[in-house]
Structure 1
Amino acid sequence: MKKLRIFSMVVFVIAAASFGYFKYEQINSKDNQAPAITMDTDSIQVSCQAEDGELLKGIKATDSKDGDVTGSLIVESVSNFMENHTRNMTVVAFDSDNHATKAARKITYTDYVSPTFSLTEPLRFAMNTQDIMGTLTCSDVLDGDITGKIKMSSEYYVQADVAGEYPMVYQVANSAGDVQKLPVTVEIYDPSKEAQKPQFELSEYLVYTSVGNAVDPWSYVQQITMGGIKFVRGEDGVLRDPNPAEKQERTAITADEVQITNQADFNTPGTYEILYQITDDSGKESVTGQVRLIVVVR
């Protein structure tokens, strides 16, 4: 019995020693250090279309146990824009024990342009129209088509059942936090009175230009329909009836017959409207048609 007890104690001591040695080896063999990240520069200039490989260029990661773990680097996040359209990028490296290290790098885009609105028809809508967004769209160099993110300011209200002109601000933001606003005039018209009015057709209804670069308002007028006749722009800039009838009183419309109210300041960034108006006196009463060209100077 005594020998059995001694044998049991020896087995216990050996087992305890083996377990202790195993834990010792386990603790000492485990990597307790995270990878180290180095980079040749903490700020880079890239295109808006740059992929992760280009964003990570010049960044390396090494680990005391695993060696080179540069292949584990990922772009964890990119911040919203800061000053001068600079963003902070956070990168992460991992080792085989799932230790992680983070580092930051600044990104500046070489070809960035703020979200750009487009409009293929004027912001004129018949009474009781539910959609007062019309054909307004927006594209972005970072996110592509962001039309679905366009919102109307809650500060303004368009009474769709009452004809008139209403101020409105459309706005949109891209994934980098760049918010662009488009202050405009929305016109609600009475369809029963629209047929008698001259109708304008412009080549564009929203244009962008740079500071100091003025646009020629008349160059956008492509067609005016007046008195049932379509006057189409010719190479000389005059609008003419392509098929005038014999003894037709009016066969052309010139620039001086259109009243253009241009309040755009092309030396100051901002959003402006150019108003075109023409009056038809051929009927029982004079009727005036109008349209707006939105000009964004930036």
Structure 2
Amino acid sequence: MKKGLTIFMVILCIALAGVFIWNRVTSDREAPVIKIQEKDIVYEEGMDESELLEGVTAEDDKDADVTNTLVVESIYPSQDGKTVTIVYAAKDSNNNVGKTKRILNTGDADRADDSQETLGEVSAEQSEENSPEQSPLPEETDPPADHGDQTDEQQAVVDPTAVPKDQQAEIDALQPQQPKFYLKEYQTAIGVGGTLDKLTFVKDIVDDADTFSYLSRRIQIEDNIDVNTPGTYDVKYFVIDTQGNTSNIARLSVTVQ
């Protein structure tokens, strides 16, 4: 009797192992691939999301064409304001998310180039007109005070992936047993009427007992975004683990433009 039960348990374990291996082999873990058709597009502030999605497609190895899931996840400018980086995201039926980036020139860059050309032409004309006569040299004046720190601060572009100082302080103040919630980005922008896949911004949840896989099913999100009204809104993320400990509140700043 015992020998038969042992044989039965061995067969059952082998069967369960086979099912597990089969699920691992056949499960879909590949994210969609996003392709961008080369087009001469100039980014203007307030540009509709549909314009930014023109010529952009997404394909998945299992679901084939998933272009209908494409969204503009975020838009952030370069330090000189002449280009912007567009982040696209698409997902398949198994919620595998694929992303890619695209850099576009801005209308401000074109206007700045035109302005420089115009100034160059005017300066040349003025130089020819004034060449026969020598204008008196201006009196020397003291150079303007150096406000380099202030200028750097005004021109600096905030890294959307960096944890803001106030939120990092909240994380550092947590007790060891409290979960720590992190986002992939802490600021993003969408066009008026656009959509936002909030869960794609979750990067990690660190806990002393529960796994990320488990806690990701307990995520709570609060927001008051009105996608039809331009403005800046906050999306708040937090989680409560199995011991009843609450994480920090991770805040995503969303600009509707």
Same fold (TM over 0.5): no
TM-score for the superposition, normalised by structure 2: 0.39
TM-score for the superposition, normalised by structure 1: 0.34
Q: Where is the helix percentage greater, Structure 1 or Structure 2?
A: 2
Q: Where is the strand percentage greater, Structure 1 or Structure 2?
A: 1
Q: Which has the higher contact order (CA 8 A, sep 6+)?
A: 2
Higher CA-based Rg: 1
